[in-house]
Structures are given as C-alpha cells and as structure tokens.
C-alpha cells in the first residue's frame, strides 16, 4: 500500500472502518485483534469463526476480490501456522487483511464458494505448507507433483531439498549449496546485514 498518497489514506480509512464493523458484529472472542500498520489494516480471527467472518466481508462489506491466500510457518510457536487472506475490492477502494492461527493437524474451511480464485490459492497453500482445506472441490498439489512426500515451505524443510523417488512420475535430489545459502540478515548493523553464507549445506 502506498503511504501518504490520497488513495492510500482513503483505502486505510475505509478498511479501518470495516475492521471496527467486524469487531462489533462478531465480538472479541471471534475477532481477536485489530492491527494497523502504515495504513494497512489486519484483523486476527479465531479459526472456527473464519468462514463466517470472510462470508460477511464478501456479502455485507463488498470485498468482491480475493487477492491472495497465503500461510506463515511460525515454527516453535503454538499454534504453529497462520493463514492469511488479502481482501480487496475490484475498484481498489479498500484493502483488508485477515489472519487466523492454525495449529498442526487443524483444517481450514475452504472459501472456494465465496471467491472462485481461492481454488488455486488454497491448493498452493496445501502443496507448500501442508494445511488442508475442508470443502475444497479439488485439493491436490499444484506446483509439485501428486505423490511428492514433503511440503517444501515448512521451516524444517532444507532449502537444498530432499531426495525422493516416484518411478515414471518424478524424482528429486539435493542441490549443492557450496556453503550457502547466501542471504542477508535483518538487524541494525549494516555490515553484519550483508549477504553471507549461512553454511547450512
């Protein structure tokens, strides 16, 4: 979201009003938290209430455009995963983010009936993170092949990959990283933040 522009400010204002509306409609137990950062509004919802909140956004608040469904792996925390919905309107009037914590083994209710585009987004989340969606019409892998044994974006999965074998379908191996991956580290010190080999190979 652009900060300071007229559009960005009005977007933020409208989404902020919608966040308050959601809190009023569903209460503190279902809509747990409301956050604002640089004009972007995020609403954290209880997983059990996710479908009805999203449905309300689609039907009553006019969010007719689902930009993205993604997931976050907070390994070591409980609940471990988080699912993120980016809602918007086709005329770019407002933009709202919804998040819900997902524990390991928990399933998320599919929203394909609300936004058709959720079909492929949810398949990607399933493929990469291993979260399953109840009520999805065609929940199979979308990027990796059907039968691949891992979910590569989970934190415990090494960047170089793991060997797997599926005769006549596909196989995979370990990529040589030669001391890498070479990545930047967040921090205040610019020198230590330079890209360095992590030595994870």
Partner 1 sequence: MSAETADTTLSHAAYDSKVEGNIIFTRLDAAINWMRKNSLWPMPMGLACCAIELMATGAARFDISRFGAEVMRFSPRQADVMIVSGTVTYKMALAVRRIWEQMPDPKWCIAMGACASSGGMYRSYAVLQGIDKLLPVDVYISGCPPRPEALLEGLMKLQRIIEGEKPIEEQIAGIREAQG
Asked if 177 is part of the footprint of partner 1 (rule: CB under 8 A), the reply reads yes
Only segment of 10-18, 19-27, 138-146, 184-192 that touches partner 1 (CB under 8 A): 138-146
Asked if 197 is part of the footprint of partner 1 (rule: CB under 8 A), the reply reads no
Asked if 180 is part of the footprint of partner 1 (rule: CB under 8 A), the reply reads yes
DSSP output for 28-78: HHHEEEEEEETTEEEEEE-GGGHHHHHHHHHHTS---EEEEEEEEE-TTSS
Strand partners, 11: none
Q: Is 21 exposed, middle or buried (0-12, 13-18, 19+ CB in 10 A)?
A: middle
**Cβ contacts of residue 17 below 8 Å, gap of 6+?**
none
Asked if 1 is part of the footprint of partner 1 (rule: CB under 8 A), the reply reads no
Asked if 145 is part of the footprint of partner 1 (rule: CB under 8 A), the reply reads yes
Nearest residue (CB) to partner 1, 80 versus 151: 151
Asked if 103 is part of the footprint of partner 1 (rule: CB under 8 A), the reply reads no
Residues 146-175 that bind partner 1 (CB under 8 A): 150, 152, 157-162, 168-173, 175
Nearest residue (CB) to partner 1, 1 versus 142: 142
Nearest residue (CB) to partner 1, 113 versus 146: 146
Strand partners, 29: none
Asked if 48 is part of the footprint of partner 1 (rule: CB under 8 A), the reply reads no
């Amino acid at each position: 979201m652009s900060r300071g522009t007229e559009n960005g400010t009005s977007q933020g204002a409208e989404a902020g009003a919608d966040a308050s509306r959601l809190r009023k409609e569903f209460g503190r137990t279902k809509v747990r938290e409301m956050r604002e950062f640089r004009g972007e509004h995020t609403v954290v919802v209880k997983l059990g209430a996710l479908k009805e909140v999203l449905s309300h956004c689609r039907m009553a608040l006019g969010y007719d455009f689902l930009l993205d469904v993604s997931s976050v792996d907070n390994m070591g925390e409980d609940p471990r995963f988080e699912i993120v919905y980016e809602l918007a309107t086709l005329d770019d009037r407002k933009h709202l983010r919804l998040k819900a914590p997902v524990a390991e083994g928990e399933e998320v209710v599919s929203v394909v009936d609300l936004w058709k585009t959720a079909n492929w987004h949810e398949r990607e989340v399933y493929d990469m993170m291993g979260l399953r969606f109840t009520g999805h019409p065609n929940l199979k892998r979308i990027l990796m092949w059907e039968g691949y044994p891992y979910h590569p974006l989970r934190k415990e999965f090494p960047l170089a990959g793991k060997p797997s074998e599926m005769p006549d379908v596909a196989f995979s191996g370990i990529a040589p990283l030669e001391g890498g991956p070479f990545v930047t580290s967040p921090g205040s010190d610019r020198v230590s933040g330079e890209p360095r080999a992590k030595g994870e190979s």
